[in-house]
Amino acid sequence: MGLGPSPAPTTGSDALSWSERWAGAPCTETDPDLGFPEGTRTYPNSPRIVAAKKLCTNCPLDLREACLEIAMAAEGTLIADGRFGVYGGLDPHQRAQLAARRTAVAS
């Protein structure tokens, strides 16, 4: 998976179909591989990552926040090299930094 919304919750009161949950997200209407450069690693300044992040700036705020938080929960405390793609407008390095900041604040 490259750029694209995180999976929607499938159980509980938040359960929505994927298309219902992410209606209006610009990435659902573009190349899902946009968030990946060649190969498996994502480099913050690669043209595709920059383009993916730009697309995310046009995503409704509630979707963008949900996308980021679902990705953050799924990725846990992984280092940047263990994270892939753009979610919530953040690349793997930015999400790893955010996770580290959150861990520091919580301790």
Residues in contact with ligand SF4 by the rule CB under 6 A: 3-5, 22, 25-27, 55-56, 59, 63-64, 67, 86-89
Nearer CB in complex with ligand SF4: 27/49:
27
CA-CA distance, 83 to 42, in Å (whole number)?
Answer: 8
CA-CA distance, 99 to 15, in Å (whole number)?
Answer: 26
For the CB of residue 96, give the shortest distance to ligand SF4 in the complex, in Å.
17
Residue 87: strand pairing partners: 90
Nearer CB in complex with ligand SF4: 65/106:
65
CA-CA distance, 93 to 37, in Å (whole number)?
Answer: 14
Nearer CB in complex with ligand SF4: 59/99:
59
Closest CA to 47 of 4, 93, 91, 97: 91
For the CB of residue 46, give the shortest distance to ligand SF4 in the complex, in Å.
16
